[in-house]
Amino acid sequence: MEKMVKCHYWKEYQGLNGWTMFCSAGAFSKEFSKDYAEGLGCTEEQRAICKKIMETNVGYSALPEIIDDTDSNQEQKDIPIEKEFAPTLKHKNSD
């Protein structure tokens, strides 16, 4: 099965009670700068989609916090290459 959300932090697996789908960044309370999040495709529209999927499958949702501070985390300096972590919304039209 193809992943419902094409994101490095999106996890899906089938357990005994069915599919579990969640954002690992939200599960571990990560904070993303606004630029880094947008580079991942973690826009307000995509976050709403992810939230709805998690609430439907798990019963609750946890998303990473988006902050305005760009110097907060060194690993977020490099925004991923588009093909490496392409946002889900861009894949809807290219299939």
- The residue among 78, 75, 80, 66 whose CA lies nearest residue 33 is 66
Position 36 in a domain = yes
The predicted-structure confidence for 41-72, as pLDDT tens digits, reads as follows 899 999 999 999 999 888 889 999 999 865 55
- The H or E element containing residue 49 is helix 44-57
Position 34 in a domain = yes
What pLDDT is recorded for position 51? 94
What pLDDT is recorded for position 39? 86
pLDDT band at 20 (very low <50, low <70, confident <90, very high): confident
Average pLDDT of 76-84? Answer: 51
The number of domains in the chain is 1
Residue 92 pLDDT more than 70? Answer: no
Q: Would you say how long the chain is, in residues?
A: 95
- The residue among 69, 72, 78, 61 whose CA lies nearest residue 25 is 61
Position 95 in a domain = no
Position 43 in a domain = yes
pTM of the shown model: 0.66
pLDDT band at 24 (very low <50, low <70, confident <90, very high): very high
Domain ranges, residue 34: 22-75
The secondary structure of the chain in percent helix, strand, coil, rounded to multiples of 5, reads 35, 20, 45
Position 87 in a domain = no
